[in-house]
Amino acid sequence: MNKTDREKLKKVLMSQLKELQTDVNKEVASFSSNSPLPDINDQASLESERSFELRIKDRERKLISKVYEALKKMEEGTYGVCESCGDDISVKRLMARPVTTLCINCKAEMEAEERREEIILSTGGTTNQLT
């Protein structure tokens, strides 16, 4: 990866971090109103929406952590190196997913393994039903 690509990716990461932090701060303010609703159905809907929003915020919090980790790796000079095989991750892949830690081949293999495990679990631990 050349210096221009590295700088471009750093700008992408910094922009993503700023956007995520802004979103988190906005949402925290919206959770402060705890006035109970008169209708139990409205209250249940509100709680369901809040639960959904909290799951999204948790995903965003995890993404913020990944962005910080990517920026740290950039400083250390290890950004863009696959954690599994040690090969370089393509710039195209990093542009699509700047926080990725696996090259496309290792990611594909990991996903294939997860699918195999899901099949085994869904068939009760046997593979005889696949043939």
pLDDT digit string (tens) for 64-123?
999 999 999 999 999 999 999 999 999 999 999 999 999 999 999 999 999 999 999 988
Q: Residue 103's pLDDT is what?
A: 97
For the chain, the structural domain boundaries read 3-130
Query: Does position 129 have pLDDT exceeding 60, yes or no?
Result: no
Q: For the beta carbon of residue 26, count every other beta carbon within 10 angstroms.
A: 9
The answer to whether residues 67 and 20 touch, using CB atoms and an 8 Å cutoff, is yes
The highest-level CATH class for domain 3-130 is mainly alpha
Please state whether 102 falls in left (phi above 0), alpha (psi between -120 and 50) or beta: beta
| Average pLDDT, rounded, for the chain | 87
Q: Which two tokens stand for residue 57?
A: 């915020």
Q: How confident is the model at residue 32 (pLDDT cuts 50, 70, 90)?
A: low
